[in-house]
Amino acid sequence: MLVVAGSWLAGPSPQWSHLTATVLPVYLRHSLLLALLTGGGTLVIGTAAAWAVARLRFPGHRLLQWALLLPMACPAYLIAYTWTGLLAPEGPLQAWLPVALPDIRNPWGAALMLTLVLYPYVYLLARAAFVHQSALAQEVARSLGAGPARRFFRVALPLARPAIIAGLALVLMETLADYGTVAYFGVPTLSTGIFRTWFGLGDRLAAAQLAAVLLAAMVALLALERGARRQRRVSGDARPAAALTLRAAPAVLVPLALCLPVLLGFVLPALQLLIWSLPRLAQAGDADFLKLVGTSLLIALCTALATTALALALVWARRLRPDRPRRLAASLAGFGYAVPGTVLAVGTVLVLAALDQGVNRLAGAVGLAAPGLLLSGTLFAVVFACTVRFATIPIQSLDAGLQALPPSLDHAARSLGAGPARLLRRVHLPLLRVPLASAALLVFVDTLKELPAALVLRPFNTNTLAVRAFELASDERLADAALPALAILLAGVIPVLLLTRSLDHPRPTSDPGNAPPGQRLEETAHAAP
């Protein structure tokens, strides 16, 4: 991040005046439009769904409570592929309908795709806020003659505003960081502009400076998200407000309305991918596909191991001695999730390429053969970038797990002569098995879905499932892209199923003001995995 931000110290790139006069205003305009549309859509869907699930009771309530999270399993670029195929002139929907279906390859269509998969961020935080609101404020408002609608807008919504703003900040960060959807739909944003400047103009400095602009936007959104979390308060008594049981027509209309985002954001895309994949299941045993799966699993496994080991070292060191340097180290390591994959790719290439060049020059100076690309041209670069991006997940999971262990355990072990290494091996690690496994699984799945970093940093003639699906879809071979896309989708369902288990056992967070934006099982849902 320092390399990306410091790219401006060298002065503007020679191409910068050309970019500002031609494409930069377009990038900024489309990025802002996409953020406004996606933010508005997720705000309405997520808040309305959270209120309905938290405060209303209707047929199918328990099913919809977790089904509304299913679109979270599907990356936006995957449903972009499937909906393009569904709405195509030769697609199944057009064959059934007598009217011409619209073309969704525009900013509005991209915003719709992002809205369908990102609204669970707002839904999770808003639902937790509504569930934890006490009954006192609602009862006072009811005693003053306020009806259900007025109590929602004047009491419940203002109390949940910090949580909703935090969820909205997460949505905006994911929207600005997205590359697969906007690149496939041909929408020029800052994220796609970085790729075009780098690979089209061949100007790494200009690409780094565009990445710095995007990084500045992420820092602003991160500050908004942190500020919203610090404002969160629980007022009144601890007794939750009573739920309202729906009757007659509302008992039918509400669940139907809640089924719509699940249907559009998960069920139909998953069915379409399955239909496309069935004739190609034999290809799953081909050497090329097995190599693709093997490379993806290797990257995901190495990233999961690296992030959990790094998180364990940072969090455990802070428990042994919670001084300022150790707290700062854990906080900085958890910041990576707010950095888009495109920005990480730029910074990683610049840093690792400089290291490779230094090693080669040093080898030449001492009379040895140049080793070539040791870091920047290997899978290490992909694992490194993904480790930076997803380290926040195990850091927060292990931090919550260690905070649940009383200090008396450490004191008892030390009184029996156990040193730090034995304390970790005999006491902490056995008690942290569940947080370690949950965090590693989340990182594994998120790495499988990562597109921008893998697209830039992968070695030549090496692909992952996400990159292969993107390449095939970009060539309009949507049916051929279905098999790798379906594998990614099925992997993404696993953490969602873990998250649904926690919805029935919520617990308040210990320090919501310091929670980073990337955590999805604990701080986001106010529940342990």
Which domain CATH number covers 307?
1.10.3720.10
Q: What is the pLDDT of residues 290-306, one digit of tens each?
A: 888 899 999 999 999 99
- Euclidean distance between CA atoms 510 and 392, whole angstroms: 17
Residue 523 has pLDDT above 70, yes or no: no
What's the mean pLDDT in 414-422?
A: 82
Question: Tokens 């290494």 identify what position?
Answer: 421
In a domain, 17, yes or no: yes
Residues of the chain with pLDDT > 70, as a percent, come to: 92
What's residue 99's pLDDT?
A: 79
CA-closest candidate to residue 156, choices 227, 231, 235:
235
126 and 3 share one domain: yes
- Euclidean distance between CA atoms 483 and 488, whole angstroms: 9
Residue 94 has pLDDT above 80, yes or no: no
What's residue 512's pLDDT?
A: 36
Mean pLDDT, all residues of the chain = 83
In a domain, 20, yes or no: yes
In a domain, 66, yes or no: no
Among 222-231, 325-334, 415-424, 450-459, the range scoring the smallest mean pLDDT is 222-231
Identify each DSSP E strand in 19-58 by its residue range.
Answer: 56-57
What's residue 232's pLDDT?
A: 54
327 and 414 share one domain: yes
pLDDT band at 255 (very low <50, low <70, confident <90, very high): very high
317 and 221 share one domain: no
What's the mean pLDDT in 256-261?
A: 94
Q: What is the pLDDT of residues 29-40, one digit of tens each?
A: 999 999 999 999
**CA dihedral (6, 308, 181, 456) positive or negative:** positive
225 and 321 share one domain: no
In a domain, 355, yes or no: yes
pLDDT band at 44 (very low <50, low <70, confident <90, very high): very high
What's residue 231's pLDDT?
A: 58
Q: Strand pairing partners for 240? A: 134
What's residue 301's pLDDT?
A: 93
377 and 308 share one domain: yes
| Overall domain count for the chain | 2
Burial class (CB in 10 A: 0-12, 13-18, 19+), 298: middle
Residue 526 has pLDDT above 60, yes or no: no
116 and 6 share one domain: yes
**Residue scoring higher pLDDT (231 or 454):** 454
Question: Tokens 């090693």 identify what position?
Answer: 359
What's the mean pLDDT in 213-224?
A: 83
In a domain, 329, yes or no: yes
Structural domain boundaries, residue 152: 1-59+102-237
225 and 328 share one domain: no
313 and 456 share one domain: yes
What's residue 518's pLDDT?
A: 38
What's the mean pLDDT in 406-420?
A: 81
391 and 453 share one domain: yes
Q: What is the pLDDT of residues 176-198, one digit of tens each?
A: 889 999 999 999 999 999 988 88
What's residue 189's pLDDT?
A: 93
Assigned token pair, 275: 């239909």
What's residue 440's pLDDT?
A: 87
Residue 527 has pLDDT above 70, yes or no: no
What's residue 524's pLDDT?
A: 36
230 and 376 share one domain: no
In a domain, 268, yes or no: no
What's the mean pLDDT in 367-373?
A: 83
What's the mean pLDDT in 79-92?
A: 86
475 and 343 share one domain: yes
DSSP classification of residue 513:
G
In a domain, 517, yes or no: no
In a domain, 278, yes or no: no
The model carries a pTM of: 0.84
Among 13-22, 70-79, 225-234, 374-383, the range scoring the smallest mean pLDDT is 225-234
227 and 309 share one domain: no
What's residue 513's pLDDT?
A: 37
Residues of the chain with pLDDT > 90, as a percent, come to: 25
SS3 458: coil
Residues across the chain:
529
Assigned token pair, 82: 């499937």
Q: What is the pLDDT of residues 123-156, one digit of tens each?
A: 988 888 888 777 777 778 778 877 777 878 888 8
